[in-house]
Each structure stands twice: as C-alpha cells, then as structure tokens.
Structure 1
Amino acid sequence: MKVRVDPERCQGHTLCAMRAPKVFELSEIDGHSSPVTEDVPADQEDAVVEAVRSCPERAIGVF
C-alpha cells in the first residue's frame, strides 16, 4: 500500500497523525500532514485506513 496527502486539501486537523503516528508527520509551521514515506509498512495499513476515514478534507489517498 502507498499513501499520499494532497497539500492543497490538507487543513492541518492532525487526525491522521493521531491515527497513524508512525506514518504521518506534521509540519511545525502550519500543522499540515505529509507521509514519512510513500510506502506504508504492512503493520501500519489498518492505521492508515483509519486515517483516511478520519480526514474531514479527504486529503489522504491510498493506492
């Protein structure tokens, strides 16, 4: 599984980082999220799916 965050849609709600802190990092400047790496470790896939579901802006995509 791979993950991406659309920087145009992300509003910095931080819910993704709460759901999958090993996968998402937050900008210290504006709180916007980005993946630590595009490739999601197998043991983090369920957490990433929860992060996708929790994003109110629908800024996270998995493929």
Structure 2
Amino acid sequence: MKRYNPHLKGFGVGLGLFYVGERQGNLANSFELKGYLRTDAALYYKRNGFKAAINVRNLFDSD
C-alpha cells in the first residue's frame, strides 16, 4: 500500500542536463570554445486549475 501526504498533491520537481561539446569560436576557425554541462531545475504546483512554477536555468552558474 502506497502512502503519500495529501498536502503535497500537485507538487512536482524537474531536472534537466544539457551538454554542449567543444566547437569552433568563429567562421575562420581561429579558436575553440570548451564544452560545458548546464543544469536546469524546476519546482511546480498544479491543482484545481491553478498552476505555478519556479524554473532555474544554469543552476550551478556554468560558463
């Protein structure tokens, strides 16, 4: 039997990982940009037609 807290009904979380690999920095290919990993996160609440969300892009401030 699953137990859950009815007060938390409608709450959710999300996580996204986006990887960008090394690439050329300009059309002349005179320099390269390093790859990076960006992490996004979200908290949301949906209930009875009401929707609210908090989204954070680049959670760890990757350059």
Do both proteins adopt the same fold according to a TM-score greater than 0.5, normalized to the shorter chain?
no
Higher relative contact order (CA 8 A, sep 6+): 1
Structure exhibiting the larger radius of gyration computed from Cα positions: 2
Instruction: Kindly indicate which of the two structures has a greater share of residues assigned to strand.
Output: 2
Shorter-chain-normalised TM-score: which range? under 0.3
